[in-house]
Chain A
Amino acid sequence: MQANSSDPIVRFENVTKAFGELTVLRNLDFDVAPAEKVTIVGPSGSGKTTILRVLMTLEKPDDGVIWVDGEPLWHQKSGSKLVPASEKHLRKVRGNIGMVFQHFNLFPHMTALRNVTEAPIHVLKMPKGDAEQRAVELLNHVGLGDKLGHYPSQLSGGQKQRVAIARALAMRPKVMLFDEVTSALDPELVGEVLNVIRELAEEGEMAMLLVTHEMGFAREVSDRVVFFDKGRVVEQGPPEQIFGNPQNERTKSFFNAVLRH
């Protein structure tokens, strides 16, 4: 099945996820259009990270279906029914998604360059030369062309996070997930990482799903802002509307608290 350009690239359909007694996602319905930039905001513990992790296949949902580019992620089709996905199917669909983590999670035993080439060479089976050429381009793009041979321990937090972005980009995902990627950074390093993401957002083709507490930044780069609380979408819309004129009481009080802070 070829996805139509107006079809969503990501669709959560009635997705539920609980940790023991605690239901974190409740019958969540949620779409992301191709190339759309969506920011998720909401109180701590509301389940923002869980949305991204379920989509990255780091957590298994208890119920519902997630569609990525027209294919079910955690399921596969068997006749007209959906059955749990095989490892093979999971890997195929997962290939559309990339993620940048709060704590970078760079491979400490590899140089910056090898961090970026490792998966393209071994997972995508790209020729080594091509993978390296592309990695150098990407690292140049994030301003680290002179750090190719450095190990993560020799890089600052902001530099590590930029390598991590290059590493995720090298897999050419259709959807990229960013989970509070600046919140582990010293304040003076936040800007350099946000600039890189801002450029990515402007370049366009890739859909981006961001969780962030940087409201100014969210307002700038997002096509849509989603206010999320207690496992549900409370309110969503263009940034001007959500930040400027929120309708829901919970949204209002959340922004009041955040902005006063």
Chain B
Amino acid sequence: MPNEDNLFVKIRNYIFLVIGLLAIGIAIGVELMINPPESPPFDLLPILLRGLAVTIELTLLGAALALVVAIVAGVARASGNIIVRTIVGFYVEVFRGTSILVQLFWIFFVLPLPPFNLSLTPLQAGVLALGLNVGAYGAEVVRGAIGAIPRGQIEASIALNMPPGMMMRRVIIPQAMVRILPPFGNLLIELLKATSLVSLITLSDVTFQGLALRQSVGRTTEVFLLILVIYFLLAYPLTLGVRWLERQRQWAT
């Protein structure tokens, strides 16, 4: 029975995808009928796709930074000494407690001025803000997953004479991974969506290209609907991936 259930869920998920795309298609069609353009909407695509490259680059770099930060900060917060825990805790709470847009602006507008004099390119600023922000959320995920490891696993590792680092690497982190992966998938989706904010610091991602097109060509409806479709096509497969992961509970006892 559970197999049928999964199949049903799968089909339903794809139906959402199909219906979603259909809805957008219809909307674009309606727009074309109301405001017949000089050329079809897809002449906009090459420019938007140039933005897509930036969006993807930013997502990958931001996710890489976030991953490293999340693991280092999460492990430190779960097992470090009190000084390390306090410092890392401060970082995590500050980045979770304030708006990512303010963090991005702070990094982009404040750092280049004295006393910091640290000039960052928009891409560097974007990667830094996204990585540190999402990394702080990820650190909490890691910490929670480590805290959920049964005490007996740690005791067994001590009884087998494993040093703390080995215990972390070989016993705790692999088990925590199962709990970590689905929330990390969700964070990746949030990160992808948050990349659009870099358009506000002049980095030419999809959203920025859209804003520029709106000013140069007009055709606002087409432009923004195309952008939505692009983001949807990036994010929705990730959503499906997360759901798939959530169903995999390999050796959960």
Instruction: Please report A residues at the B interface, Cβ cutoff 8 Å.
Output: 56-58, 87, 91, 94-95, 97-99, 101, 103-109, 118-119, 122-123, 151-153, 167-168, 171
Contact = CB atoms under 8 A, between A and B. Distances in A.
25 contacts: A56-B155, A58-B155, A87-B163, A95-B161, A101-B156, A101-B159, A105-B152, A105-B155, A106-B156, A107-B153, A107-B156, A107-B171, A109-B178, A109-B251, A119-B161, A122-B170, A123-B162, A123-B166, A151-B251, A152-B251, A153-B251, A153-B252, A168-B160, A171-B160, A171-B161
Contacts of A101: 152, 155-156, 159
Contacts of B253: 108, 152-153
A91 B161 contact: yes
A58 B158 contact: yes
Given A95-B161, A101-B156, 19 more contacts: A56-B155, A56-B158, A57-B158, A87-B163, A94-B158, A94-B161, A99-B159, A101-B152, A101-B155, A101-B159, A105-B152, A106-B156, A108-B175, A109-B174, A123-B162, A123-B163, A123-B166, A153-B251, A171-B160
Contacts of A123: 160-163, 166
B80 to A, nearest CB: 16
Interface residues of B, number: 20
A119 B163 CA distance: 11
Contact of B160 (A103, A108, A109, A118): A118
Interface of B: 150, 152-153, 155-156, 158-163, 166, 170-171, 174-175, 178, 251-253
A221 B163 CA distance: 34
A153 B174 CA distance: 16
A123 B251 CA distance: 25
A122 B152 contact: no
Contacts of B150: 105
B160 A119 contact: yes
Contacts of B252: 108, 153
A55 to B, nearest CB: 11
Contacts of B170: 118, 122
A168 B150 CA distance: 19
Nearest to B171: A107
A109 B152 contact: no
B249 to A, nearest CB: 10
